[in-house]
Amino acid sequence: METLVFKSPAKINLFLEVLRKREDGYHEICSLMQTVDLCDELLLQRRKEGVVIRTDDPECPANETNLAFKAAQLILEEAKIKEGVSIHIKKIIPIAAGLGGGSSNAATTLKGINQLFELNLSDQKLHFLSSQIGSDIPFFLSSGQALVRGRGEIIEPITIYRDYWLVLARPEVKVSTQWAYQNLKINLTKVKNEVNLKVLENPNVFFEALPHFENDLEEVVSVKYPIIRRIKDILENSGAVKSSMSGSGPTVYGVFERKPKAEEVARKLRRGDWSPASGGQVFVTQPIPNSI
């Protein structure tokens, strides 16, 4: 094989709990994550040597700082492959939006190179490599639904209901993940809502549980960026079962049971004055299994 093309999906955090700061500087988290059908496209092609990144988005780094570059370099070195690879990234997922686009690209690159060079590395080996690159990357090697713990490397695949629709609204603000975690005041006495995740495959239970899920980073980020609270209000007042920030933001999502309602609310957001005219983006998407 000389060339392969892959879809690289975004994710949302149905909840995100930040438990404590670890001795290694990372934060201990517990998060329920779900992949959605908002996808980048990666074209991987064998070359004589070296790793080359090409992208159609000027904001996406085409150098060694790109997580896909790091993933390619790591797996080729691990497998002692002297050939190289070029990676063309067609960006659809907004950059630095709390949707995991860069991490997804890295995970897709690992699996893609494993197939492209017929390395036959095990899932466990790919997981080990992914955890060396970034915190969210191991999740994107899972089935697309998982409870994620540790700093993001402990993955517990689960099965939950996914026949619903999402409106994603990304305002034109930049949120530093590092800043969000550094400014979070961890409430060690906070009582967490205990939900039996094993019963979330039932739609009634799923929709009843959703409003109780929280993102611990949302409060600190929305204080600095009030537009996040404003978008949440629009979504909730428009009938969303739940509205929340994804990851460290700034993307906010609303959950809707039916596609026509989601599309109606998306049109309302696009017509509004919250920020699309100045560069914000609105997407209608739905949960999918991760097929890479």
Residue-wise pLDDT for 140-172, tens only, equals 999 999 999 999 999 999 999 999 999 999 998
163 is catalytic: no
Please check whether the two domains, 3-157 and 165-285, share a CATH topology: no
11 is catalytic: yes
Task: Please report the pLDDT score of residue 82 as a whole number.
Answer: 94
User: Do β-strands 242-245 and 252-256 pair in parallel, antiparallel, or remain unpaired?
Assistant: antiparallel
Residue-wise pLDDT for 72-117, tens only, equals 999 999 999 999 999 999 999 999 999 999 999 999 999 999 999 9
pLDDT band at 187, cuts 50/70/90? confident
Look over the chain and give the mean of its residue pLDDT values, rounded to a whole number: 92
Amino acid type, 120: N
Residue 171 contacts residue 95 (beta carbons within 8 Å) = no
pLDDT band at 62, cuts 50/70/90? very high
Length reported for the chain: 292
pLDDT band at 207, cuts 50/70/90? very high
User: Looking at residues 208-233, what average pLDDT do you find?
Assistant: 94
DSSP track, the chain = --EEEEEEEEEEEEEEEEEEE-TTS-EEEEEEEEEEEEEEEEEEEEESSSEEEEES-TTS--STTSHHHHHHHHHHHHTT--SEEEEEEE--SPTTSSS-HHHHHHHHHHHHHHHHTT----HHHHHHHHHTT-SSGGGGGS-SEEEEEETTTEEEE-------EEEEEE-S----HHHHHHH----TTPPPPP--GGGTTSHHHHHHHGGG--BTTHHHHHHH-THHHHHHHHHHHTT-SEEEE-TTSS-EEEEESSHHHHHHHHHHHHHSSSSGGGT-EEEEE-B-----
Residue-wise pLDDT for 244-291, tens only, equals 999 999 999 999 999 999 999 999 898 876 654 456 899 999 999 876
Token code pair at residue 88? 């063309």
User: Looking at residues 35-48, what average pLDDT do you find?
Assistant: 97
Which among 55, 187, 65 is positioned nearest to 133, based on CA atoms? 65
Q: Exposure pattern of 41-72 as b/e (b: 16+ CB <10 Å)?
A: ebebbbeeeebbbebebeebbbeeebbbbbbb
SS3 annotation, 22-61: CCCCCEEEEEEEEEEEEEEEEEEEEECCCEEEEECCCCCC
Task: Please report the pLDDT score of residue 186 as a whole number.
Answer: 81
Higher pLDDT, 196 or 22: 22
Whole-angstrom distance, CA of residue 2 vs CA of residue 46: 5
Class in CATH terms, 165-285: alpha beta
User: Looking at residues 196-221, what average pLDDT do you find?
Assistant: 92
Which among 235, 240, 261 is positioned nearest to 170, based on CA atoms? 235
Given the residues 70, 136, 216, 232, the one annotated as active site: 136
Task: Please report the pLDDT score of residue 33 as a whole number.
Answer: 97
Task: Please report the pLDDT score of residue 101 as a whole number.
Answer: 97
pTM of the predicted protein model? 0.94
Whole-angstrom distance, CA of residue 154 vs CA of residue 19: 14
Report the CATH fold assignment for 3-157: Ribosomal Protein S5; domain 2 (3.30.230)
Residue 64 contacts residue 70 (beta carbons within 8 Å) = yes
Task: Please report the pLDDT score of residue 276 as a whole number.
Answer: 47
Domain ranges within the chain, ordered by starting residue: 3-157, 165-285
Given the residues 11, 70, 232, 242, the one annotated as active site: 11
- For residue 18, list its beta bridge partners: 29
